[in-house]
Structure 1
Amino acid sequence: MVGTVTLYRAPTTPADADAIADWLRDRIDGEVRVRDRLLGSVNDSDALAEDLAAARVTDPYDRETGTTLVGIVRYEERALAKPERAGGVVYDGRVVGRALNARLPDDQGLDHLHVPLLDRVLGTWGGHDGRWHKRVAVFGQPSLVSVPGLYEAPAKPEAYYEEKSKHAMLTGDAPPREVLEADIEGDFLVADDPRTTEALKGYVLAAVDFVETGSAFCDDERCRLYDAHRQPGVVQAQLRDPEFCAAHAERYG
């Protein structure tokens, strides 16, 4: 059983770690702590910058990651010091998880789960289709939850991509994201969405559930522990009633 959960803030995002922790305390028996940004508290930031450079996805269809270019490592050093400069990069979530596991400030046993909210986009390699896939969460110790992944990983409504394609055919350029988001009807989360904190609660609880049960997600699309692959599914699972399926309501409701 998980006795302690330590949640780490992502101050450059709208995610409210304290509100998520309060919600989590009402649903699990263990202690829930909140700490400042994990990436900002690592002492050997130079070595971590090298690990992050090694975790970079450089080609969506190439399993190999990383670069040894000095300029990339320097970018990662600046992004660690000033996280508002980070963006536009996908990282191998497994590699990032291993790098942070070696730097956790406390007990690394599974009875003390560390859950950093990250301002980085994470991905995992899809062996079934030979490409990288963005993820909201990559579970383990620590369990990583990507705030920008919440907006980017689940696919948007079909109309979004149809409008994007139509605009590209007419102008030769992709339309600004803000234009698409304003023109497309349908409910989906966008960058800095005010519903971010509420939507992330289920992913943090799923990280705890994974450690306790070995099951990463629920199969019921109406449950907060459901891993939605499309934005309308995220809205349904995280922002609409019921909060849980019958089985998980008995456990966490």
Structure 2
Amino acid sequence: MVETVTLYRAPTTETDADAIADWLGDRVEAAVEVRDRFLSLYADDGLAEDFAEARVLSPHERDTGNTMLGIVRYEERALERPERAGGVIYDGRQVQDALRRRVPDDECGLDHLHVPLLDRVVGTWGDHDGRWHKRVNVLGQPAIVSVPGLYEAPAKPEQYYEEKQKHALLSGDSPPREVLENEVEGEFLLEADPRTTDALKGYVLQAYHFLATGEDFCENDGCRLANPHRQPGVVEAQLDEPEFCDDHAGRYGD
């Protein structure tokens, strides 16, 4: 039984950990608390190298890791100044293992779930198609929730990519948010989206649900416990009403 959930802030992102904790606390039979950034609280001399070892080197290569001195130095700077990090995908399972080793010894049991909100992009390897897939969350203990993964992992409508490519050909840059939102049919989330906190609530609940019940994702597209692979599905599952399917409304509904 999960008795405590500890959520960790991601201060460089558009995410209100306290609001997520309040929402979660109203729905689960566990005490919910918030702490500062996990990578700051529990960083040690080996954490930068662990991140370097978890780097995805190629979308179609299973092997990970580059621990050359320059890469480790980059990871050290990213830990100290996270606002300057980006453009890297990390093996979510390796990152999860690295963070698990740093959870306090008296809090590492399955009765105390740790959920770091991370400002890093994480992925998992797909044996079925031989490539890496970006993820919003990686379930387990601790459970990782990637804030940039919310924007990058689920595919956007095809028209989004067409408009982005067209604008890049004409101006050499990405189109402004308002252009994309006006020109592209279908809803999606972009970096620093003001809906980020609301959308991530369900992904944090998924972490609790998995540890509490052993079940992973819901098959109902309109439930917060669903794991859609496209952005319009994320909007439907996390931002539209009702919040939960009939099977999960009794457990987590208002």
Please state which band the TM-score falls in when normalised by the shorter chain.
over 0.9
Provide the C-alpha distance between the structure 2 equivalents of 1:78 and 1:166, rounded to a whole number of angstroms. 35
Equivalent position amino acid for 1:151 in 2: Y
* 1:58 Cα offset (Å): 1.1
Measured against aligned partners, the alpha-carbon deviations of 1:125-145 in whole angstroms (never above 9, x if no partner) come to: 010000000000001110000
- Counterpart check, 1:114 vs 2:80: no
Give TM-score, length-normalised by structure 2. 0.94
Equivalent position amino acid for 2:230 in 1: R
* Equivalent position of 1:72 in the other structure: 71
Change (3 A) 1:213 1:177: farther
Instruction: Check conservation: 1:123, 1:134, Cα contact below 8 A.
Output: yes
Counting only pairs closer than 5 Å after superposition, residues 103-182 of structure 1 correspond to structure 2 as 103-105=102-104, 106-166=106-166, 175-176=173-174, 178=176, 181-182=180-181
- Which stretch shows the higher mean deviation, 154-163 or 116-125? 154-163
Instruction: Check conservation: 2:164, 2:175, Cα contact below 8 A.
Output: no
Q: Which runs of 5+ in 1 are unaligned?
A: none
Equivalent position amino acid for 2:25 in 1: R
Equivalent position amino acid for 2:19 in 1: A
Equivalent position amino acid for 2:176 in 1: E
* 1:114 Cα offset (Å): 0.2
Equivalent position amino acid for 1:96 in 2: V
Provide the C-alpha distance between the structure 1 equivalents of 2:163 and 2:37, rounded to a whole number of angstroms. 37
Give TM-score, length-normalised by structure 1. 0.94
* Equivalent position of 1:83 in the other structure: 82
Q: Considering only aligned residues, what root-mean-square deviation do their CA atoms show, in Å? A: 1.5
* 1:166 Cα offset (Å): 4.6
- Which stretch shows the higher mean deviation, 22-31 or 173-182? 173-182
* Equivalent position of 1:224 in the other structure: 224
Partner SS state of residue 5, structure 1: strand
Equivalent position amino acid for 1:125 in 2: W
- Counterpart check, 1:50 vs 2:49: yes
Q: Which runs of 5+ in 2 are unaligned?
A: none
Provide the C-alpha distance between the structure 1 equivalents of 2:85 and 2:167, rounded to a whole number of angstroms. 28
Instruction: Check conservation: 2:100, 2:142, Cα contact below 8 A.
Output: yes
Percent identity between matched residues is 67
Counting only pairs closer than 5 Å after superposition, residues 179-190 of structure 1 correspond to structure 2 as 181-182=180-181, 183-190=183-190
Provide the C-alpha distance between the structure 2 equivalents of 1:42 and 1:162, rounded to a whole number of angstroms. 42
Instruction: Check conservation: 1:53, 1:72, Cα contact below 8 A.
Output: yes
* Equivalent position of 2:203 in the other structure: 203
Partner SS state of residue 155, structure 2: coil
* Equivalent position of 1:212 in the other structure: 212
Equivalent position amino acid for 1:85 in 2: R
Partner SS state of residue 190, structure 1: coil
Equivalent position amino acid for 2:71 in 1: I
- Counterpart check, 1:32 vs 2:36: no
Provide the C-alpha distance between the structure 2 equivalents of 1:238 and 1:80, rounded to a whole number of angstroms. 30
Partner SS state of residue 39, structure 2: coil
Provide the C-alpha distance between the structure 1 equivalents of 2:175 and 2:139, rounded to a whole number of angstroms. 29
Provide the C-alpha distance between the structure 2 equivalents of 1:142 and 1:128, rounded to a whole number of angstroms. 26
* 1:174 Cα offset (Å): 6.6
Measured against aligned partners, the alpha-carbon deviations of 1:58-115 in whole angstroms (never above 9, x if no partner) come to: 1000000010210000000011011111111100000000000000134111110000
